Every structure is written in C-alpha cells, then in structure tokens.
Chain A
C-alpha cells in the first residue's frame, strides 16, 4: 500500500469533513464547490483503489487477506459519493452534515486499510 496515498486520502477526507461540517454548522446545504471537493476526494480514493488492486496483482500480500483489503478499498471509494448523492436530495444543513459524516467514515476506513495492509 502506498503510505503517501493513504495519508493524502485521509487528509483530504478530514478537510472535506471540516468544510461540510462548517456548512452544516452555518445551516447551509452543499453547494457546487462542495461537490468539487467531493470529486477530488473520490478521485484520490479511486487512485488508491487502482493502486491497491495493482499491487495485489503484482503479488504483494495484504496482512489480513486480499478479500478484506479489496472490500475496504471499495467501501472507501463509495463512502463520499454515496453521501454526496444523498445530499443532493436534501437541500438543508442535514445534507452537509451527511457528507461530513461520510468523509469521517472514509478517514476511519483509511486507518483500517493501513492496519489491514500492514497486518
């Protein structure tokens, strides 16, 4: 697992969580710029998914097993977009809060991914 990538995804996710959390705090729904931020985070998670699968394909081992590793990679990739879609339907502060929660979930998944890869 590329440690740099895990750190980058975690940092981006936490930044997104803070940003959307602030919007929720101010009672605002998610706006275009928030969706741009979600796109950036999702793109990073996608890169991580591809790199992770390529590393497995090249014969490297995940400490706790390849199945769990790939499942967490897929979950990490899906977390923020899923919350983003939900927030499209809820144009209140709770839409922003949901995206913030999705980003926190992603950050937690990154920590777990690190453990799973390292053993």
Chain B
C-alpha cells in the first residue's frame, strides 16, 4: 500500500501538469494520483513532526495510564485522546489520497480545538489537572509545537488540494 502510494505520488509530483493535460481516456485513474501524495515537500516535515508527536503522546499516555491512572484521570484521558488524534493524522498523511486529506483536515481542526480548550482549561482551573497533559498550557512542554502544528497542517492540507 505504502509503496503503491509512493509510486503514484512520484508521477504526480514530476508530471502533474502533463497528467492533468492528458485527455480523459485514463482520467478516472490519474485524477486521484496527484492528490495522493501528502508526504512530499513541506508535507514531509509535517508528517515527521506528527510522527514525533504521536510517539511522544502515545508513549506518555500508555505509561501514565498503566502506572498511575487514579492520580489524574482527566489529564491522562485527555493525553490519550491527544495521542489517538496524532497517530490518526500521521496515518492519514502517510496514506494519502483525497479522503485521507479531508480526514486529516478535520482532525487538525479537532486538534486545534483540543489544544485551545485544554490549554485554556489548564490556565483557568489548574486544580483539575494534578499532572500535565500533552496540551497543557497550549503545549508549552512540547515547545508549543501542539498549537503550531494543526495550523501549519491545515494550511498545507488546503494547498495540497487539487
């Protein structure tokens, strides 16, 4: 699957104009091809950062929930949700295609809402959070990447539309 997407992606990248210029004979198959590649160019940097956030968030929440869930159930549950969102976006970016692009766009929006909600929540009512989540203080513990990433992601995903 990954190899296939990579293959079509290459054609899309180098020969995008030619493919679009071609007449409708092969239209059905190739129309999907240019949109398939989301990992190229700036998208590579994006998918790398999402990969890092996925690994960080997933391992963090697995550790927290496995060892001391009772100490801060809310914080750890939110961390787990963040982890799932990151993992899913990373997967959709790798998978490519128009459906995946839309799904990633929706998830980036959800991620941004999550960062802003949890970030504000931790500032307004710190007592609800005995321990930090990935999105606490707008992701300060992660260099504010959590708040910058969805914005960059949405810009890139809008541009990747064909």
Contacts and interface: CB of A to CB of B under 8 A. Distances in A.
Main secondary structure of the interface of A (DSSP, over half): helix
A90 B63 contact: no
B63 A98 contact: no
B45 A101 contact: yes
Interface stretch (A10-18, A43-51, A67-75): A67-75
Contact of B44 (A71, A94, A108): A94
A105 B59 contact: no
Contacts of A71: 59, 63
Contacts of B56: 75
Contacts of A52: none
Contact of A101 (B6, B40, B43, B49): B49
A75 B53 CA distance: 12
Contacts of A101: 45, 48-49
Given A67-B63, A83-B48, A101-B49, A94 B55 contact: no
Contacts, number: 40
B143 interface: yes
Interface centre among B6, B47, B51, B59 (most CB of A within 10 A): B59
Nearest to A95: B44
A97 B45 contact: yes
B55 A68 contact: no
A92 B45 contact: no
B44 A90 contact: yes
B42 interface: yes
B70 to A, nearest CB: 17
A86 B59 contact: no
Contact of A89 (B6, B52, B55): B6
Contacts of A82: 48, 51
A87 B41 CA distance: 10
A95 B41 CA distance: 8
A13 to B, nearest CB: 14
Contacts of A67: 63
15 contacts: A71-B59, A71-B63, A75-B56, A82-B51, A86-B47, A89-B6, A90-B39, A90-B40, A94-B41, A94-B44, A98-B44, A98-B45, A102-B48, A105-B52, A108-B143
Interface of A: 67-68, 71, 75, 79, 82-83, 86-87, 89-90, 92, 94-95, 97-98, 101-102, 105, 108
Interface of B: 6, 39-45, 47-49, 51-52, 55-56, 59, 63, 143
